[in-house]
Amino acid sequence: MPGGAIAGIGLLGGHRIKAAQGNNVRLDNIYVGSRDMFDDMNRAIAANGIRPVVDRVYPLEGLAGPALEGS
């Protein structure tokens, strides 16, 4: 049975993913703001010295494992 999920990030209004229609695929779209909003956010981050909080760091080696090896 075909199926799966496609996550579209930053899609613009009106765009569709036709390959998924009728194939038992779930589409999850995450809409983002405009380029101006992105630039405003980055200026605010820089002006206020906002830094991300990093709790843990994981190595990338071996992360995907069999998924990328075709097993």
Q: What are 21-60's pLDDT values in tens digits?
A: 566 777 777 778 888 999 999 999 999 999 999 988 777 7
11: containing domain: 4-54
The whole-number pLDDT of residue 5 equals 79
Instruction: Tell me which residue of 14, 18, 71 sits closest to 6, measured CA to CA.
Output: 18
| Residue whose tokens read 């630039």 | 39
Here the tokens at position 24 are 């038992």
User: Is residue 66 classed as helix, strand or coil in its secondary structure?
Assistant: helix
What per-residue confidence (pLDDT) applies to 26? 78
Structural domains of the chain, count: 1
Strand ranges in 10-71 using DSSP code E only, listed in sequence order: 25-30
Query: Would you state the pLDDT for residue 10?
Result: 73
**Partners of residue 25 on adjacent β-strands:** 4
**Residue 23, Cα to own-chain centre: how many angstroms?**
22
Residue 14 lies in a domain: yes
Structure tokens at 29: 């779209």
Greater pLDDT, 65 or 58: 58
pLDDT score for 71: 46
